[in-house]
Amino acid sequence: MPSQEIERAVDHSRMKVSDTVAIEIRDMNKWYGQFHVLRDINLTVNEGERIVIAGPSGSGKSTLIRCINRLEEHQAGSIIVDGTELSSDLKNVDKVRSEVGMVFQHFNLFPHLTILENCTLAPIWVRKVPRNEAEESAMQYLEKVKIPEQANKYPGQLSGGQQQRVAIARSLCMKPRIMLFDEPTSALDPEMIKEVLDTMIELAEEGMTMLVVTHEMGFAQQVANRVIFMDAGQIVEQNEPTEFFNNPQSDRTKLFLSQIL
């Protein structure tokens, strides 16, 4: 498995983990029909944490982070995001979703809208921001991900790396407090992976709380403050990155690391 080299030094000065709890998951279980996909998940994420979730394919990584903004429903246990418990109450779900941004493996940009419209849609319709304010703010985020000049193009006219950076900008326009990334670089050609990782590093440097499912172990080593290893629907091991990579405890982690590093 390739692991992209991160060339520049990552600035850790503003990456501070606070004491405030951002996400609290307790004894969470989820089934797809008969299939027990997540088993007894317990996870507490503090504000400012940068967590990388790794594990073999099919181990439930996507399902776990998709439960956090309720793209998937859990059947037992509890998930509390920023003090709001996720339940069938739609008001709570909407509240959580407006606080939590998500970036998908396949970008999922809206192809019928321009880049700018992609970015302003949710602020205008969900947050009720006036259009010109939303556009101004969207242009700032597009500058941040370094593609302001593409604002009036359509997603189909951009490269994969550019699309993924737009997807990140689109999430940021909602001013989320937590960002979820589900394999954001897995669908990209190698030369585009770096531009997306750079964007994510900048985000981390500004202190964003991030949960990242990725196979980019270079990113994990330099940016994450915690690495979680999942297998067969369970959290098998979690540790800070240096310990995790240099001194893995469980056999499954060792096997996994030997395969991908």
Ligand X SMILES: Nc1ncnc2c1ncn2[C@@H]1O[C@H](COP(=O)(O)OP(=O)(O)O)[C@@H](O)[C@H]1O
Contact residues toward other proteins (CB under 8 A) are 69, 71, 90, 94, 97-98, 100-102, 104, 106, 108-112, 121-122, 125-126, 154-157, 170-171, 174
Rounded Cα distance between 188 and 161, Å, is 6
Q: How far is the CB of 183 from ligand X (least distance, A)?
A: 7
Beta-strand pair 178-182/100-103: parallel
For position 118 contacting ligand X by CB under 6 A, the verdict is no
Find the binder of ligand X among 15, 23, 25, 37 (CB under 6 A). Answer: 37
Q: Which is nearer to ligand X, 63 or 162 (CB)?
A: 63
Residues 42-61 that bind ligand X (CB under 6 A): 55, 57-61
Give the CA-trace dihedral at 98, 100, 103, 105, to 10 degrees: -110
User: Quick check: 211 and 180 in contact, CB under 8 A?
Assistant: yes
Backbone angles phi, psi at 130, to 5 degrees: -60, 150
Beta bridge partners of 230: 235
Please state, in angstroms and rounded to a whole number, the distance separating the CA atoms of residues 184 and 199: 11
Of the candidate residues 46, 62, 199, 253, the single one contacting Mg ion (CB under 5 A): 62
Q: Which partner from the list other proteins, ligand X, Mg ion, none does 163 bind, CB cut-off 5 to 8 Å by kind?
A: none
**133 near 206, Cβ under 8 Å?**
no
Q: Least separation, in Å, of the C-beta of 214 and other proteins?
A: 18
In the list Mg ion, other proteins, ligand X, none, the entry touching 59 (Cβ below 5 to 8 angstroms by class) is ligand X
Q: Is 185 in the site for Mg ion (CB under 5 A)?
A: no
Residue 222 in contact with Mg ion, rule: CB under 5 A: no
**Number of neighbouring beta carbons within 10 Å of residue 190:** 9
- Least distance to ligand X from the beta carbon of 39, Å? 12
Q: Is 253 in the site for ligand X (CB under 6 A)?
A: no
Q: Which among 11, 211, 2, 194 has a CA at the least distance from the CA of 100?
A: 211
Least distance between other proteins and beta carbon 151 (Å): 14
